[in-house]
Structure 1
Amino acid sequence: MPDTNWGAVNAPATVLWSAPGKLRDYDELILRENNDPAGWSAGMDPALRLWLVGKADTMALYGEPVVILERHGAWLKVAAVEQKTRLNEQGYPGWAPAAHIVNSPAYLDALKNLPRIVVVKKTAPIYLDEALTQAAGEAPYQTRLPLLRENSGFVEVRLPNGGNGYLAGEDVKAESALTFSRSGIVSEAGKFLGLPYLWAGTASYGFDCSGFTMRLYQSQGITIPRDADEQALAGTAVARQDLLPGALLFFAAKGGVGQIHHVGMYIGDGMMIHSPNSTSTVRVEAMDSGSYGDEYWGARRYSP
């Protein structure tokens, strides 16, 4: 990434929007510099959540690197480089408040040269001291930060603003240690049962269907595309009779032959876990329940 055109997210999570500008007062919670994605998501009823469709595109996590594509007043059009998409070869595009994006040479250098740790809890406090007493924010699930030093009880990391921070050792895992297992990915998914659906969500404050599956595979050290229709073209096709836990299940309009509109993850015994829609939560149900039986498109696996 050219140094002058890159940045990193300096908020727990930021939404990447289809266009710049605030469209409703409620979103001040997520748009302000010191934002509150947890409160923003938790405070929305189904109607407020449904409003996001077509207006929000994805979500980038704390520390996630971006390429700056365009500037418009207090907004930046960016590409989230670790979210694969055919929409932009540099990463998933969208508009974010400029206050959420920082450009720190120290952080860029750390990204290039240091290993990273990964947050494995739903959220992990970030501290300013080794004793882990001065909390200064939080990092959601699958946040990745450059590792400066590891101790028995904590890790020291480079923060997006160029400073140093600390996380409890039990809250993180080395990125290099992430490996796929069928039981492991099912266990990771179960952490989020009951979490309300969030259109464009890729964070532990709320997931859409493909944001959920993307982060689950990231937890196993595997990168898959951001959107369901592209996830369906990656990996290897799996016949229905050969399904194993961890395979992704895709559903399409027109009796399963039209446009793909949903993805869930197979967990065994004909069951899937998924984040269905703006009126529901992450849940387990039969892959043939409701309209899903008629709309089944196929399955893919991404592990060896």
Structure 2
Amino acid sequence: MTTTAASGRPTQTSTAPPTWLPVAAVATTLVLWASAFVAIRHLGHDFSAGPLSLGRTLIGALVLGALALSRGLPRPSRGDWVSLVTIGVLWFGVYNVALNEGEQRVDAGTAAMLIQVSPVLIALLAAVFLSERFTIYLGLGLALAFSGVAVIGLTTSSDDGGGRDLLGVALCLVSAVVYSVSLILQKPLVARLSALHVTWLACTIGAVACLPFAPALLSEAGDAPTSSLLWVVYLGVFPTAVAFTTYAYALQHMTASSLGVTTYLVPPITIVMGLVFLDEVPPAMAYVGGALALVGVAVARRKPRSHARQEPAPA
């Protein structure tokens, strides 16, 4: 993964980024992803789920491609291609379609809270596939997080629409699951390939997977106002091209579970943005469910005490 400097300097000196850089990358990602929940909710009147996913990934792939190709062609192995195709179809395809459809039925803040079960799922998958330790706290956190999801589901279904809202909750959970799986697959990839190349290839694959929605996208884009078309461009450039790249960069320098847990900051940012730009907030009891889910995340990330003095776990 790393190269040795000709001057004979230690590898760590030539490759380690400033400590603030991964943190800045995560912060950029969180703000842009929070804005995406609001933009998707806003665009629900003009674009259906599939066409919006295609428009977003096409624009993201074009922007990323211009940047990635200026740095040369990536050379993924056959095994890398399997992971890239899986990530592209799941994270950039299924995730977007499910989330877009889910936000037709639940507000942006509720959708953001539902996605936050993913850090617990990531920790669980990391324990299974990345040899991170499975603890009793992880099991308890998983139970608490999904109890929170159940509260959110019951709250939204009792407001109006009943089954429509429950379907929205289920679709947001599908997004959380495929996001978690994709992050685990991406962690080994960014150890071998650049974050920019991984994001570009996966986004391009996701756009190809969404191509069946092209006729509907052309039809809906023709009827949409200019402001909505600009919002689609925004989704493709910033929450997709920029945010996914900064997230992949941060993943190179943080553990999967540590990075995954940072996304619990997205719901409060989304709720504030939703109030300012959409004049909507989640139902009151949904906050209880969201808080319960976040407590579950915190419990899942707790480290068991060891009897002997040990090195602290990396952040």
Q: Same-fold call, TM > 0.5? A: no
- Considering fraction of residues, name the structure with more helix: 2
- Considering fraction of residues, name the structure with more strand: 1
Pick the structure with greater CA Rg: 2
Which structure is higher in RCO with an 8 Å CA cutoff and minimum separation 6?
A: 2
**TM-score w.r.t. length of structure 1:** 0.23
**TM-score w.r.t. length of structure 2:** 0.22
